[in-house]
Structure 1
Amino acid sequence: MTDPLLLDHQVCFALHSTSRAFDALYRSELRGLGLTYPQYLVMLALWETDGLTVKALGARLRLDSGTLSPLIKRMETAGLVERRRDRRDERSVSVHLTAKGAALKERAARVPHRVLAASGLDAEEMRTLHALLDRVTASLDAAV
């Protein structure tokens, strides 16, 4: 009988190890863009839908405001985004790309291709992995 507590049999550890490997790869790929991985995620979300509220951005990225707010402030200082308060509800703040932030999209387009190439998977395998991870995430969210 296999010991269920062996480290190498833990899916959570395999995901953790994979996540760390992805982090290292993204750190290397994003260095030339002047972005950290969390900043890259913010940019991806804003390139998709500019002007998201901080609350919507946090929900989309699964980041709490304590993590997201300083991140956005650093990105604003770097000239990539700007925050705007809603005139009707001053508690609501939206995040918008600057021209510099929007222009970075073209340079960032190579990143997913390089990540796919480095992963050892083909495009179909990557889509399958993504679908499985989405399913696991939804199931785990529902379990807590």
Structure 2
Amino acid sequence: MISAQSVEDPLDLERQVCFALAVAARDVIALYRPLLEPMGLTHPQYLVMLALWGGTPLSVKELSRKLALDPATLSPLLKRLEASGYVTRSRAASDERQLAVALTDEGRALRERALAIPPAIVERLGMSLEELQGLHAVLTRVIAAAGRS
């Protein structure tokens, strides 16, 4: 039974947005694991590939911005993707200080296999596409609001 105190307790675990976000993120990412493993990708690597499938080459700085990751976090992901044969990293001709990341033929071909992932996730969640689109919109607003803080 929920007491009146727990309903109004600002430190009640079940009322915390951070807790709900953390558990949801962990559980949703876990749904991706069995879909990504046969492709040789981790979830963070999948996010990098999604960004690159949107158009390459991209500089590390552009990728960092798109993924909201600092370059130091992104670098090991890119090294592993390069070792897997999915991307190449090279100095940009226009600015030798910039590292350009491009898809290999194998990385481009992987996109076809990845097309099965979004519908599989929708099915595994058992939620309607409309619900998930609404959730995405709310989370996008949360990200923007947290970024302003």
By the TM > 0.5 criterion, same fold? yes
Report deviation, 1:120.
2.2
Taking structure 2 as the reference length, the TM-score comes to 0.93
Q: Which stretches of structure 1, 4 residues or longer, exceed 4 Å deviation after superposition?
A: none
- For the pair 1:7 / 2:18, whether they are aligned, the reply is no
Task: Count residues with an aligned counterpart.
Answer: 143
Match of 1:53 among 37, 48, 59: 59
Identical positions, percent: 50
Match of 1:44 among 50, 60, 66: 50
Equivalent-residue separation in structure 2 for 1:137 and 1:87 (angstroms): 34
Equivalent-residue separation in structure 1 for 2:94 and 2:88 (angstroms): 18
Larger radius of gyration: 2
C-alpha root-mean-square deviation of aligned residues, in Å? 0.9
Query: 2:142 corresponds to which residue?
Result: 136
Flag structure 1 segments of 5+ consecutive residues without an equivalent.
none
Equivalent-residue separation in structure 2 for 1:12 and 1:28 (angstroms): 26
Flag structure 2 segments of 5+ consecutive residues without an equivalent.
none
Match of 1:28 among 11, 23, 34: 34
What whole-Å deviation, never above 9, does each CA across 1:48-99 have from its counterpart, x for those lacking one?
A: 1110100000110011111111110111111000012112321101100000
Report deviation, 1:115.
0.7
